[in-house]
Amino acid sequence: MTETQLKKTPLHSVYGSSAKLVDFGGWEMPIQFYGGILAEHHAVRHHAGLFDVSHMGEITVTGPEAETFLDHLLTNKIQGAAEGQCLYSPMCQEDGGCLDDLLVYVMGSQHYLLVVNAANTQKDFQWIKKQCDSTGFQVQVSNASQDWAQLALQGPQATSLLQPLTSEMNLNTLPYYRHGGQISIGTIPTLISRTGYTGEDGYELYCSPSQAPELWNILLNAGAIPCGLGARDLLRLEARLPLYGHELLQSISPLEAGLSLFVKLDHRQFIGHGALAHQKEQGIPRRLYGLVMEDSGVPREGYPIQFNNQELGVVTSGGKSPSLNRFIALALLQRGSVKVGDTVDVIIRGKKKRATIVKTPFYKRPPSTNSSTESGSGV
């Protein structure tokens, strides 16, 4: 795909020369801004970083049977969720492989907004529409991605930065994994939620694409630091949050990815239920492990992992953790093959490099009133 064919978010025009742009799944996105990845990482961990995530997809599901349909479609339980909740859920195919992981915003009893990964938007929409058409549920499904721009403000100072910009809500009253409906940031109507994909507190701000540049500049003028996808990937890796295409694939089940909390097998059926129930009964064959490198070397995606000269699996994501100042990785390995404290070998360009199996997440923010065990959807 050539540069002229790359999709651009509504914020592309405001990046100017301060951003280094890359092809990210067909989108021209900032990998970093003028401060660099390390500075942006520290901005999110200690201050407040601002991300353009307008490439993410939005799909609406509405109608009298919307809740029942989503319970059929997704592995998490939607029934009983209150208006204002945000729920994380994998979406599987019949064999239990993961088609995507997404967020469900409960907008009303018959109105749900699905936020899906950018590269999967069209695939997801076609899959959801197919399930709707084949099952006969009384729902309407619409790809509303063109109606929204999304900004993510992340970091311990996100609340103190954002609160002076709105008088319509006390942000401290918005719990984690909830949305607050529409408020105004300045004069811009904005759907606000509090989920996050960095391991820090923060907010997602959805607005009209035409008003996104103004909202971006309001937040920058208030002190937010612009951040790119490079810092975002390291932040989510430190927090052990899965990224579709790495820790989740159509060949990897959510149980293998450590997402059993979001796979509700009891008292309900959903697409992939039989395969996942069988996998759980028979013993989940693989699981994600955390690694910290002991020898020099970068643990990149796809590198084999060996233990006692036996290959156990591969690295799914890796990079240098600014918080630990060490190279870290997630690896999908045979379940039960190793334990915390074991030394394994990462095969890097044909050479064995030692790494230690460690507990994850690699980084966890200090406890707060808005802490949660919920996971986050990725980029």
Helix then strand then coil, in percent of the chain rounded to 5, is: 25, 35, 40
Claim to verify: residue 21 and residue 46 sit in the same structural domain: yes
- Check which CATH number belongs to the domain holding 223 and give it: 3.30.1360.120
Domain boundary residue, one of 176, 203, 238: 238
Buried b (16+ CB within 10 A) or exposed e, 240-250: bbbbbbbbbbe
pTM: 0.95
Claim to verify: residue 43 and residue 157 sit in the same structural domain: yes
Largest CA distance in the chain: 62
**Which residue type is seen at 96?**
G
- Check which CATH number belongs to the domain holding 101 and give it: 3.30.70.1400
- Check which CATH number belongs to the domain holding 294 and give it: 2.40.30.110
Claim to verify: residue 166 and residue 118 sit in the same structural domain: no
C-alpha closest to that of 321 among 218, 238, 236, 246: 238
- Classify residue 370: in a domain, yes or no: no
Structural domain including 333 reads 286-358
Report the pLDDT value the prediction gives residue 368, as an integer from 0 to 100.
62
How many angstroms separate the CA atoms of 183 and 278, rounded?
45
Tens-digit pLDDT string for the chain (379 aa): 444 689 999 999 999 788 999 999 899 999 999 989 999 999 999 999 999 999 999 999 999 999 999 999 999 999 999 999 999 999 999 999 999 999 999 999 999 999 999 999 999 999 999 999 999 999 999 999 999 999 999 999 999 999 999 999 999 999 999 999 999 999 999 999 999 999 999 999 999 999 999 999 999 999 999 999 999 999 999 999 999 999 999 999 999 999 999 999 997 899 999 999 999 999 999 999 999 999 999 999 999 999 999 999 999 999 999 999 999 999 999 999 999 999 999 999 999 999 999 999 999 988 764 444 445 555 5
Report the pLDDT value the prediction gives residue 293, as an integer from 0 to 100.
98
- Classify residue 106: in a domain, yes or no: yes
Q: Is the peptide bond before 367 cis (omega within 30 degrees of 0)?
A: no
- Report residue 168: phi and psi, to 5°: -90, -10
**Of all helices (H) and strands (E), which one includes residue 192?**
strand 188-193
Report the pLDDT value the prediction gives residue 25, as an integer from 0 to 100.
86
Claim to verify: residue 211 and residue 157 sit in the same structural domain: yes
How many angstroms separate the CA atoms of 126 and 141, rounded?
10
- Classify residue 274: in a domain, yes or no: no
Claim to verify: residue 122 and residue 155 sit in the same structural domain: no
- Classify residue 49: in a domain, yes or no: yes
- Classify residue 364: in a domain, yes or no: no
Q: In the chain, how many domains are there?
A: 3
